Structure 1
Amino acid sequence: MYQRILVSTDGSELSQKAASHALQLAKSTGASLIALTVTPAYPVTYLEGSMPINAEQAKEIEAKWRAESQQYVHSIQEDGAKLGVLVTPVIVNNDNISDAILETAKEQGADLIVMASHGRKGIARLLLGSETQHVLTNANIPVLVLR
């Protein structure tokens, strides 16, 4: 059925649930798993009311984010090893999370994307945007959304 499943994680409890589900699905179908985390660049802005930050501080923050991302995907990789599922950890730096998920799925030859959604509705969804909605709308492979 599925050969390569991509699961997107940000380390949140909800995305850990999606990763667990993706691992079980991979195990039951004999698929491998791609554990993806997308890290954005730290915005260096000088807008009124914001604290100015220099390039060195931004690099330190980005390095911290990359280290956290390594922990997220390697945790999934360790869980996969316990289940006998081959997990490929992937960390992508991109400010557009949904586009990065779609691009990585294509590059890695994924045939299913698994991700979590907070299930926001109404004005909250409009104001906060929805990475999941963008992936659902633009993916050319199946997307499994967990809430």
Structure 2
Amino acid sequence: MFTNILVAIDLNDPMSREKALPQAVELAKASGGTLHLLTIVPDMGMPLVETFFPANYEEHALQAAKEKLDALARETLPEGLPHQQHVMLGQITSHIVEAAEKTGADLIVMASHDPDLAQNFLIGGHAGKVVRRSPVSVLVVRS
């Protein structure tokens, strides 16, 4: 069924942990596949914005995200489930698609909020962007 399942985890959004991750775990167990947990620390976008943050902010943010993702894996994944953790810095949609390609994922699992038409019209949702750009199937888990 699925050999490598990439699950995008927003460490600040309980839906990722409570809705998308359990779905990905069940699919990985059923297929005997490997689960790839991915979290992305957004970059600052513009050099001007970077001046408002302390030195080494990105390094500290990446380390904190890695520690949280490690703890999440220890606390929630069943014993013996093959998994790997990945932490990236930058643009969320691009890195999800890039990670799917690098890990050889044949499925991406991610959570999505109920659609907010105004927000989606202005900036678009990450899940929708991933669905449009992904070379593999995407399971979008709604709340």
> TM-score, structure 2 length as denominator?
0.84
Structure 1 SS opposite 2:35: strand
- Percent identical among aligned pairs is 29
Structure-2 separation of matches of 1:73 and 1:58: 23
Structure 1 segments of 4 or more deviating over 4 A?
none
CA contact (8 A) 2:62 2:88 kept: no
CA contact (8 A) 2:15 2:111 kept: yes
Match of 1:116 in 2: 111
Shift of residue 124 of structure 1? Answer: 2.1
Match of 2:66 in 1: 70
Distance 1:58 1:115, change over 3 A: farther
Paired residues, number: 138
Superposed CA RMSD: 2.1
- Match among 2, 14, 30 for residue 28 of structure 1: 30
Which residue type is aligned with residue 69 of structure 2?
Answer: V
Distance 1:68 1:128, change over 3 A: farther
Structure 2 matches for 1:58-137, cutoff 5 A? 58-60=55-57, 62-78=58-74, 79-80=76-77, 82-94=78-90, 96-137=91-132
Shift of residue 92 of structure 1? Answer: 1.2
Which residue type is aligned with residue 37 of structure 1?
Answer: T
CA contact (8 A) 2:7 2:36 kept: yes
Structure 2 SS opposite 1:45: helix
Match of 1:45 in 2: 48
Distance 1:135 1:111, change over 3 A: same
Structure-1 separation of matches of 2:40 and 2:55: 17
Match of 1:15 in 2: 16
Shift of residue 39 of structure 1? Answer: 1.3
Shift of residue 128 of structure 1? Answer: 4.1
- Of residues 16-25 and 107-116 in structure 1, the stretch that sits farther from structure 2 once superposed is 16-25
Q: Give unpaired runs (5+ residues) of structure 1.
A: 47-51
Distance 1:76 1:86, change over 3 A: farther
Shift of residue 20 of structure 1? Answer: 2.1
Shift of residue 58 of structure 1? Answer: 4.8
Distance 1:30 1:73, change over 3 A: same
> TM-score, structure 1 length as denominator?
0.82
